[in-house]
Amino acid sequence: MSAQTVTFAGYTIGYGQETYEQLIPICSRYGSKIVVIGGEKALAAAKPYITKAIDGSNLEILSFEWFGGVASYENVDRLKALDSVKNADMIFAVGGGKAIDCAKCVASQTEKPFFTFPTIAATCASTTAIGVMYYPNGVQKDVFIAPRPAIHNFINLDIIAQAPPLYLWAGIGDTLAKFTEVPFSSRGHESEMAHKDALPLCMSKMTGEPLLQYGKEAMDDVKSGKSSFALEQVVLAVVITSGMVSYLIDSYKYNSNMAHAVFYGMTVLPQIEERHLHGEVVSYGVLCMLMMDKQMELLDRIYKFMKSINLPTKLADMEVKLEEMGPALDSAVTKYDIECSPYKITKELMYQAVVDLEEYNKTH
């Protein structure tokens, strides 16, 4: 037996300036000098709030730094060489997944505590210790795991409500996968799952249920730039619950399955690579998986919800023809995501699910 240490990010979710009410007591335990690293638009959106939040305290911002546009080790090295980063006691990571992961990597390599300020709700990067790194040209390189996630995550719904709705839309799509893939991958393993996997399996229910209940309303609110209770419930599911599930569960076994395999397979198609988002295509993969597994009741619920917010339910929604799915599924079936499944997933099973889903669309 070996000891297990789990550290979670604390979080505050709020509306506007009130989000930062506890920032001074929470952050000042770690020193006084701050460097803020983030995306360009994200920094512009968060700067007035953060500046006001530390006003009158002994906290001091040394500088606001653009992360460089790509979460690359080259940008990490460039940031680490800055005096403001060298002199900072702590790092504030502001933005979407790429900016936060880049700042997380800087924090990890410099052994400084970091705090997250997500400005969009597309991923759970602000909650997890995992970072996805890219080559400078934008191609994915590897994944690193920081010694711990952020100390605290400050989620300002007013900022998220002002961001382009596309991000929340894709975040919802990816979170539908957490809701369905985790129970599917775990099926048959329940009796051998210890606390560390059994807990996030239970929590996965809370990734999807709030989306089905509040997702449509939250999307409508974001389209009009309005923060709301519905948006709060959806952001918590996408950013917090999903992040905790990913962070706790054995990611090589239970964290993903066919929805992601279908997405990765479909990236061989140029139209997917160029014009469709990860979470968008993954949500289509969720429907394929439910169809293959004959989970018709859940399929009905998720299909209706996806239609209501225009997530893709058929190939034409992603500019894909049925005959293009052969090579895509040749690739999908090789992905590690489907290795831990209740039964062997073959290309034939996947293809039949795609065909059945096309038929289903004609009658629903």
| 281-300 positions binding Zn ion, by CB under 5 A | none
Q: Whole-number minimum distance, CB 131 to Zn ion, in Å?
A: 15
Separation between Cα atoms, residue 64 and residue 282, nearest integer Å: 34
Q: Whole-number minimum distance, CB 254 to Zn ion, in Å?
A: 14
Unique residue bearing structure tokens 């590690």: 336
> Following CA atoms 180, 182, 183, 189 in sequence, which dihedral angle do they give, to the nearest 10 degrees?
160
Closer CB to Zn ion, 174 or 221, in the complex:
174
| Nearest-CB residue for Zn ion | 174
Closer CB to Zn ion, 176 or 354, in the complex:
176
Separation between Cα atoms, residue 22 and residue 325, nearest integer Å: 51
Closer CB to Zn ion, 91 or 245, in the complex:
245
Closer CB to Zn ion, 174 or 232, in the complex:
174
Closer CB to Zn ion, 149 or 171, in the complex:
171
Q: Whole-number minimum distance, CB 256 to Zn ion, in Å?
A: 7
Q: Whole-number minimum distance, CB 172 to Zn ion, in Å?
A: 12
Contact (CB, 8 A) for 225 and 202: no
Closer CB to Zn ion, 101 or 174, in the complex:
174
Q: How many CA atoms lie within 13 A of 41 on its CB side?
A: 10
Identity at 53, one-letter amino acid code = A
Q: Whole-number minimum distance, CB 174 to Zn ion, in Å?
A: 4
State the burial class of residue 267 (Cβ atoms within 10 Å of its Cβ: 0-12, 13-18, 19+): middle
Q: Whole-number minimum distance, CB 288 to Zn ion, in Å?
A: 15
Q: Burial code of 35-69, b = ≥16 C-beta within 10 A, e = fewer? A: bbbbbebbbebbeebbeebbeeeebebbebbebbe
Q: Whole-number minimum distance, CB 17 to Zn ion, in Å?
A: 32
**Binding flags for Zn ion, 154-193, as an x/- string (CB under 5 A):** --------------------x-------------------
| Max Cα-Cα span within the chain | 65
Closer CB to Zn ion, 87 or 140, in the complex:
140
State the burial class of residue 27 (Cβ atoms within 10 Å of its Cβ: 0-12, 13-18, 19+): buried
Q: Whole-number minimum distance, CB 252 to Zn ion, in Å?
A: 15
Q: Read out DSSP for 215-246?
A: HHHHHHHHHTT---HHHHHHHIIIIIIHHHHH
Size of the site for Zn ion (CB under 5 A): 1
**Which residues lie closer than 8 Å to 25 by C-beta, 6 or more apart?**
none
Q: Whole-number minimum distance, CB 69 to Zn ion, in Å?
A: 21
Closer CB to Zn ion, 39 or 285, in the complex:
285
Closer CB to Zn ion, 114 or 264, in the complex:
264
Q: Burial code of 137-161, b = ≥16 C-beta within 10 A, e = fewer? A: eeeeeeebebebbbbbbbbbbbbbb
Separation between Cα atoms, residue 203 and residue 63, nearest integer Å: 38
> Following CA atoms 263, 265, 268, 274 in sequence, which dihedral angle do they give, to the nearest 10 degrees?
0
Q: Would you tell me which residues interact with Zn ion (CB under 5 A)?
A: 174
